[in-house]
Amino acid sequence: MTASYARDVTNDHPSIVVVGGGIIGLTTAFRLARRGHAVTIFDPAPARGATYAAAGMIAPTAEIAPGEESNYRFQRGAIDAWRDMNREINETIGRTVSIAQTGTLIVGWDASDRRLIEQFQSVATEFGAPMRAVTRAQEPDLFDGLSARIGEGLLMHEDGWLDPDEAVARLLEANERLGVVVVRERVVSATVSDGAVVVEADSGATRADYGIIATGADGLPGGLTVPKAPTVRPVRGVTVRVQSLDRSELPTVRAYVRGRAFYMVSRPGGYCVLGATAEEKPQPLVEVGELQRLLRDGLDIVPELESAPLLEIRNGLRPATTDLRPFFVPLAEPRWWWSSGHYRHGVTVAPLAALDALAAIGAS
Ligand SMILES: Cc1cc2nc3c(=O)[nH]c(=O)nc-3n(C[C@H](O)[C@H](O)[C@H](O)COP(=O)(O)OP(=O)(O)OC[C@H]3O[C@@H](n4cnc5c(N)ncnc54)[C@H](O)[C@@H]3O)c2cc1C
């Protein structure tokens, strides 16, 4: 079959194929198209992978974990990076993604959970993360809606959140305005031929000057190899959407409950995202047991969830590497790069991941 060529190839602005239209592929395409590249995204179901399940927390401090200092340093610039990209989105379509910087409140359910918070605090202190201890007695509003047995917590004021559904809608609109073509097909193989990249999908072959793989936990399509392999494994997560209390002006609630992690991100009007499970399983489904544990933990921390209408349950596969760090690497086949491994932080770091693509293409 004859290969079609992605449009408008010039020496100044080579054409680019992006395989995968999750938050990483969409921000990557946006930044490349803003620079003047002709970009084509291939994805059978754009933004219906992990991005669809994400709660949208931009929470570098609350996400601190032992051994992940480099992740913390990388993510600390994420809210500013989103604001920078918002300026570009605004220039493109006259609208932006709402970004709330309400902070995170971490609380514990029982004595051993409070011990986990102490351990978290000592790691976060080592990383130099800003936070302060708070009590219900002194700042009752912070604890609005939380179980009466919770009287203290840790407040991390730099953290924030956005709504991934809104971010995706804005990016799709902005990309369309910039002429990015979205082909709703799965790429079955990706190769290099005669100084161009070639992708094979249902409708045939498409050529472009360069290609970027952003397929999340799905890994590489056939035909591509990595010289020194980062491996990506799927870590399944479930989020539950309910109509409940409006804490959108207050910190996002995170809790340890019987050793498990729980969070509730509250948006204006009381649309709340409860999350999230973490299962080392590749099947994109929801198990009754994981859902039951998530809801039980939520009910303990936020008792009024008892009567909250359940709106939706979503699941997705987080792309995790062995060292839990994201990567942007050239593949063994020239002209191809792979952007993945964003694990539980892909929404947070998406504008930064897109900068890697700009730098790589700019240097080629
Ligand atoms: C339950 C849950 C909660 C989360 N909460 C947060 C959060 O609060 N904050 C945060 O920062 N991160 C969060 N994350 C992590 C974040 O969602 C991911 O890191 C991020 O979505 C990864 O983006 P991606 O674009 O790499 O992958 P995806 O969103 O999975 O997108 C990959 C896309 O590639 C497409 N694709 C795959 N193979 C092919 C192919 N061969 N051809 C064409 N297209 C293909 C898929 O259809 C998909 O649309 C959460 C994740 C989960 C699961």
For atom 35 of ligand 1, the residue with the nearest CA is 20
> 350: closest CA among 25, 61, 60, 17?
25
For atom 31 of ligand 1, the residue with the nearest CA is 22
Distance 81 CA to ligand 1 centre (A): 19
- pLDDT for 226 equals 82
Distance 340 CA to ligand 1 centre (A): 9
CB 82, CB 99: distance < 8 Å: yes
Distance 133 CA to ligand 1 centre (A): 34
Q: Tens digits of per-residue pLDDT, 277-305?
A: 999 999 999 999 999 999 999 999 999 99
Written as six digits, the tokens of 334 are 């020239």
Which of 336, 342, 349 gets mutated to test ligand 1 (max ligand atoms within 8 A of its CB)?
342
- pLDDT for 229 equals 73
Q: What residue has token string 């729980």?
A: 262
Distance 321 CA to ligand 1 centre (A): 14
Looking from the CA of residue 276, the nearest atom of ligand 1 is 1
- Domains, the chain, ordered by start: 4-71+165-232+322-362 (3.50.50.60), 104-157+233-320 (3.30.9.10)
Q: Tens digits of per-residue pLDDT, 31-74?
A: 999 999 999 999 999 999 999 999 999 999 999 999 999 999 99
> Distances in Å between the alpha carbon of 136 and those of 154, 160, 250?
11, 21, 14
Continuous segment of H or E residues that includes residue 292: helix 288-301
Which residues, judged by CB distance below 6 Å to any ligand atom, belong to the binding site of ligand 1? 19-25, 42-51, 53-57, 186-187, 214-218, 221, 237-239, 275-276, 316, 318-319, 340, 342-348
Give the residues across from 99 on adjacent strands.
162
Region 166-183: mean pLDDT is 98
Q: Tens digits of per-residue pLDDT, 258-281?
A: 999 999 999 999 999 999 899 999
State whether residue 144 is helix, strand or coil: coil
User: Does residue 9 have a pLDDT over 60?
Assistant: no
Q: What residue has token string 């809104």?
A: 166
Give the residues across from 273 on adjacent strands.
241, 265
Q: What residue has token string 């959140």?
A: 161
Buried b (16+ CB within 10 A) or exposed e, 34-52: bbebbbbbbbeebbbbbbb
Q: Tens digits of per-residue pLDDT, 115-159?
A: 999 999 999 999 999 999 999 999 999 999 999 999 999 999 999
Which of 17, 82, 318, 328 gets mutated to test ligand 1 (max ligand atoms within 8 A of its CB)?
318
User: 219: how many CB neighbours lie within 10 A of its CB?
Assistant: 16
**If pLDDT is split at 50, 70 and 90, which confidence band does 8 have?**
very low
> Distances in Å between the alpha carbon of 342 and those of 126, 230, 293?
23, 12, 25
Which of 28, 42, 43 gets mutated to test ligand 1 (max ligand atoms within 8 A of its CB)?
43
